[in-house]
């Protein structure tokens, strides 16, 4: 079980304007949280509560569809299409919408799932994703500014696409707590998670303690992936996390993942490398790394990225 002594920092992103005292103080909190925990809880008033409720309702309806329909969500990239039916994590099921903010992508997904389409699903998920991407951009802008890497701002902000993953963790099949998703680090840039009222996400602290994240119904968990950690030459911490399920209700969550574009080379800026911070990783392509990560060797490695391109 997670430790009850550690709680994620809560950072408010409401009414932010650049070049103000509030922006600067919030920026300092973001960097500190990502250095120490690799994640934090965010409040963000750009997404109204009715939209948050609607996106959970639409997600529940999606997972009520028959399995053969959900299996239409195919991709040749790992975790970009339907994932489920895994013996190791039998409670877990998810669907993906790659390049989600490109015109027509979410509607195309809805047309694939529902014969007559589903305008309510498309409109809700599209609005939610567009607004949540604003938070992703704010967090990344703050990190780049904090590290003094402003000259790389445009390149960094233009280097990603967005993947939406809609996820369900079924209730345990016994009275015992059961594994919902195995311990892992995310491999992308930034992950932002929104969930229903059922908790289960646990994060590993730097000193080796598992603690439970307990966001409210109007907040989000913002987490750093290995790609952002590598780009900052290890300044940011990409935390291990897992999902543990208990109780008698399913957990639903929606993740917005900023993902490096194919062909984009992740390379730590020279300003991030010095005697105190020697270079950790050679330049690499995220999608080529993922191909290695999902091989038997990549899955067995205690640090796949280090094995793939570590210095």
Find the DSSP H helices in the chain.
21-36, 49-63, 67-70, 105-113, 119-146, 153-157, 226-231, 286-293, 296-300, 304-309
Nearest to 127 by CA among 153, 99, 106: 106
Domain 10-273 carries which CATH code?
Answer: 2.60.120.330
Contacts for 122 with CB less than 8 Å, ≥ 6 apart: 106, 107, 110
**Residue 219 Rama label (left phi>0; alpha psi -120 to 50; beta):** beta
CB neighbour burial string for 5-14, b if at least 16 within 10 angstroms, e if fewer: eeebeebebe
Q: Give the pLDDT confidence score for residue 139 in this predicted structure.
A: 98
> Residue 265: is it exposed, middle or buried by C-beta count within 10 angstroms (0-12/13-18/19+)?
exposed
Predicted confidence at residue 272, as pLDDT, reads 97
Coil vs helix vs strand at 59:
helix
- Integer Cα distance of 110 and 166 in angstroms: 13
Residue 58 confidence (pLDDT): 98
The residue ranges of the chain whose pLDDT is under 70 are: 1-4
How many helices and strands in the chain, by DSSP H and E? 10, 13
pLDDT for position 129 = 98
Please state the domain extents for the chain.
Answer: 10-273
Q: What confidence tens digit (pLDDT) does each residue in 109-161 have? A: 999 999 999 999 999 999 999 999 999 999 999 999 999 999 999 999 999 99
Q: What is the pLDDT of residue 16?
A: 85
Helix (H) or strand (E) holding 179: strand 178-184
């Amino acid at each position: 079980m997670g430790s009850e002594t550690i709680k994620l920092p809560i950072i408010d992103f409401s009414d932010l304007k650049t070049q103000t005292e509030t922006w600067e103080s919030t920026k300092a909190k973001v960097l500190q949280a990502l250095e120490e925990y690799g994640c934090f809880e965010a409040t963000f008033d750009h997404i109204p509560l009715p939209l948050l409720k609607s996106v959970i309702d639409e997600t529940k309806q999606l997972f009520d569809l028959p399995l053969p329909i959900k299996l239409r969500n195919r991709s040749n990239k790992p975790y970009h299409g339907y994932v489920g039916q895994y013996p190791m994590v039998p409670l877990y099921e998810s669907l993906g919408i790659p390049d989600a903010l490109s015109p027509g992508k979410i509607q195309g997904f809805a047309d694939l799932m529902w014969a007559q389409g589903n305008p309510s699903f498309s409109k809700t998920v599209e609005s939610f994703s567009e607004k949540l991407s604003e938070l992703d951009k704010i967090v990344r802008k703050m990190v780049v500014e904090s590290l003094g890497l402003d000259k790389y701002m445009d390149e960094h902000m233009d280097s990603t696409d967005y993947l939406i993953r809609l996820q369900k963790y079924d209730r345990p099949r016994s009275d015992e707590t059961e594994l919902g998703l195995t311990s892992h680090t995310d491999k992308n840039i930034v992950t932002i998670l929104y969930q229903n009222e059922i908790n289960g996400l646990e994060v590993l602290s730097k000193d080796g303690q598992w603690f439970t994240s307990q966001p409210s119904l109007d907040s989000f968990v913002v987490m750093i992936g290995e790609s952002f950690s590598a780009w900052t030459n290890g300044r940011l911490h990409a935390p291990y996390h897992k999902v543990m399920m208990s109780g008698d209700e399913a957990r639903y969550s929606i993740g917005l993942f900023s993902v490096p574009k194919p062909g984009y080379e992740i390379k730590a800026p020279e300003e991030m490398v010095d005697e105190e911070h020697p270079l950790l990783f050679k330049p690499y392509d995220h999608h080529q790394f993922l191909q290695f990560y999902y091989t038997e060797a990549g899955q067995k490695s205690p640090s796949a990225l280090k094995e793939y391109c570590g210095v």
